[in-house]
Amino acid sequence: MTASDLSTSTTAEGVSERTAAHIDATERHAAHNYHPLPVVLARGEGAWVVDVDGKRYLDCLAGYSALNFGHSNERLVAVAREQLGTLTLTSRAFFNDKLSGFAEALTRLTGKDMILPMNSGAEAVETAIKVSRKWGYEVKGVPAGQATIITMEGNFHGRTTTIVSFSDDDVATSGYAPFTTGFRSAKYGDIEAIAAAIDETTVGVLFEPIQGEGGVVMPPEGFLTRLRELCTERNVLMIADEIQSGLARSGKTFACDHEGVVPDIYIMGKALGGGIYPVSAIAADRDVMDVITPGSHGSTFGGNPLAAAIGTEVVAMLEEGTFQARSAEIGEQLTAGFGPLVGQGLSDVRVRGAWAGIDIDPSLMTGRQMSEALMARGILAKDTHGSTVRFAPPLVASDEDVAVLVTAVTEILAAARA
């Protein structure tokens, strides 16, 4: 009997037998590197997903912002389908007819001279680290082997061995030593601490304009402006990881745009692939990117025609500005809805565009419990850690959708306080 033959009768855990069968098989055969909510999704359209039992859920995680444009976005699916039947991979040993347009579009969007395409976000972060080090040695004149990069406390930049080397999350690092050296940590948002950490070996400051995994944590106002000034003054690269904060999530194309700041390197991923396919890239000016020479970096799939076709359409959609505007509108609705809950079950609320982090009074419930209560009401979200839950609905969510979320959180907190 396969999972799809099972009836929708319920198990002791309160899920259908069909759902339980999928969960059991997944847990048995796939590594336990996530702790998912007990829901098995089968379809998605716009801001909504449907599980194997036909129950609908509002998706308030949106693939960690990879799905900014919604599930099964018509324009993106059409482009992907067309390219699937045309040409998907050439390797970079040859040129392909889609990378040219993608590179042109993404340089236009970022205002930078060049891009370097990769696949996952972590690969793009690795690329930024390599480019910055090489720039440090070849352009800035840092002594061989001594480059340092300043990173922020509470960061999340991905899961490779080098990237977890500068994570301060014990779960992400435990058991993975030895780590890569050359990173120096400073308090997030603390310009004096960053200035003090920079010395003649420093090649860059790697930061998230908003820390998404950290719980939608924002630096103090003016931080981005001051960091830009500091990086220019000390001749170090300002490296903005906009993988989660960028591409309309925060209400602007890039979160750095909130202070009108342009970093030396943009790191992009997640929504760049429209939730269809992993597409990532860094963008920088020629004086930085020219340190990359044939053979010095690469990826079999990076810049492939399927990725490039999807990425080009993503840029075209962003250039229209409607997603950024809608994100800002959703943000106003989230602020109006969650703001009054501070002191009424929430200790803090942070909203920037369609992106909200709520800190629940830990005596009421954990973030996990909130996520489970929301799931029971047809809303999917995920705690980041402890009592913090992040909401990032697709930017195609309607006012009614956002109201459903706000009402649910309000009622769950009211019931917990009663």
Ligand X SMILES: *Cc1c(COP(=O)(O)O)cnc(C)c1O
At its nearest, how many Å lie between ligand X and the CB of residue 185? 16
How far does CA 97 lie from the centroid of its chain?
Answer: 28
At its nearest, how many Å lie between ligand X and the CB of residue 211? 8
Residue 89 neighbours by CB under 8 Å, 6+ apart = 300, 301, 304, 305, 306
226 binds ligand X (CB under 6 A): no
Catalytic residue among 241, 264, 383, 401: 241
Please give the structure tokens belonging to residue 109. 């969007």
- Closer residue to ligand X in complex, CB, 90/160: 160
Helix (H, G, I), strand (E, B) or coil at 58: strand
Site for ligand X in 122-141 (CB under 6 A): 122, 125
246 binds ligand X (CB under 6 A): no
The number of residues that bind ligand X (CB under 6 A) is 16
212 binds ligand X (CB under 6 A): yes
- Closer residue to ligand X in complex, CB, 19/299: 299
Please give the structure tokens belonging to residue 398. 């309607």
Half-sphere exposure of 200 toward its Cβ, with a 13 Å CA cutoff? Answer: 4
- Closer residue to ligand X in complex, CB, 20/205: 205
Q: Please identify, among the stretches 193-201, 238-246, 250-258, 382-390, the one whose residues bind ligand X according to the rule CB under 6 A.
A: 238-246
269 binds ligand X (CB under 6 A): yes
Q: Which residues of 297-316 are buried (b: 16+ CB within 10 A; e: fewer)?
A: bebebbbbbbbbbbbbbbbe
At its nearest, how many Å lie between ligand X and the CB of residue 128? 10
At its nearest, how many Å lie between ligand X and the CB of residue 163? 8
95 is catalytic: no
223 binds ligand X (CB under 6 A): no
49, 71 contact by CB (below 8 A): yes
338 binds ligand X (CB under 6 A): no
At its nearest, how many Å lie between ligand X and the CB of residue 255? 10
CA-to-CA dists, residue 287 to 69, 130, 166, angstroms: 33, 15, 27
Q: H-type helices in 120-160, by residue range?
A: 121-135
130 is catalytic: no
- The DSSP secondary-structure symbol of 118 reads E
Catalytic residue among 69, 156, 207, 323: 156
Provide φ and ψ at 157, rounded to 5°.
Answer: -130, 5
382 is catalytic: no
> Alpha-carbon Rg of the chain, whole angstroms?
22
CA-to-CA dists, residue 141 to 145, 200, 343, angstroms: 11, 9, 53
- Closer residue to ligand X in complex, CB, 131/413: 131
Active site positions, annotated? 156, 241, 270
